[in-house]
Amino acid sequence: MEYITLLGAKVPVLGFGTAGIKGKQGKKAMKNALNSGYRLIDTAQSYNNEDIVGSAVSEVNVDREDLFITTKIRGRNLSYDDVIDSFDESLRKLKMDYVDLLLIHWPNENVPLKETLNAMNKLKEEGRIKHIGVSNFTVPLMDKARKVSKASILCNQVEYHPFLSQEKILTYCQMHSLLLTAYSPLARGKVGANETLKKLGKKYGKTPFQVTLRWHIQQENVMAIPRSSSPRHQEENIDVFDFSLSSEDMQTISNLERGERLIDPKSAPWR
């Protein structure tokens, strides 16, 4: 595994996304991911699987200090007291004393951002979270978060894949030493059918999925959290450290951008 070091955080460039992964099979998938070498697990209150993450982590032979655990506060829990109370519940489910990164899952215009971040800062001061971040924030919202938070904002987690440019957010992150965490990095599997990515896969002896993940992690301040319940796909997704894409091929992949946003709720801040 390779790492990005920002703001004192050592973050794996590839993590394991857990949205939709539940039950016995979900726990099995998480354990296999950890045993395959994944060291970052990304969960959320709204995924309803923090308890499964906690059980999986407790049942594998990996030191907690070697893991990077991320969870997210759901939109209805962003008032000061709700942040504290819901996070207490998250820790109980995770069976952990702390998480490495706590994110605001989606911005909520009905709750002052400063109120939410004040609660998250308190949790950080208490040592129950190591770092603070956001998700699905636009550049103006990122700017506001950085201004009102006492602690530095580590990352913004957004949908990012070859078919959806996040140039403005990425440029902002790079300028201000923030991490861009790419969710849905494989565009829900759509990259596998793209002819350009298939040709590049043949060129490098890799799959279109591996080429896509390599494209992500070769960009400055970018890491990705692919999701898969399949042991074969999990191991394939993490097998991207033995090759590099040329600058020309990096640009070719970036040129696949077509504004295809897969996660676009009516309440999204970019609407």
Q: Active-site positions? A: 47
Do 269 and 140 form a contact (C-beta atoms < 8 A)?
A: no
3-state secondary structure of 14: strand
DSSP code per residue over 119-183: HHHHHHHTTSEEEEEEES--HHHHHHHHHH-SSPEEEEEEE-BTTB--HHHHHHHHHTT-EEEEE
3-class DSSP string for 149-167: CCCCEEEEEEECECCECCH
As a whole number of angstroms, the distance between CA 145 and CA 117 comes to 8
Contact partners, residue 37, CB within 8 Å, separation at least 6: 1, 238
Strand partners, 73: 104
Cα angle: 179, vertex 184, 185; to 5 degrees: 65
Closest of 39, 94, 95, 97 to residue 72, by C-alpha: 94
249 token code pair: 């091929």
Do 142 and 156 form a contact (C-beta atoms < 8 A)?
A: yes
Is the Cα torsion angle 235, 238, 241, 245 positive or negative in sign? Answer: positive
84 token code pair: 């504290």
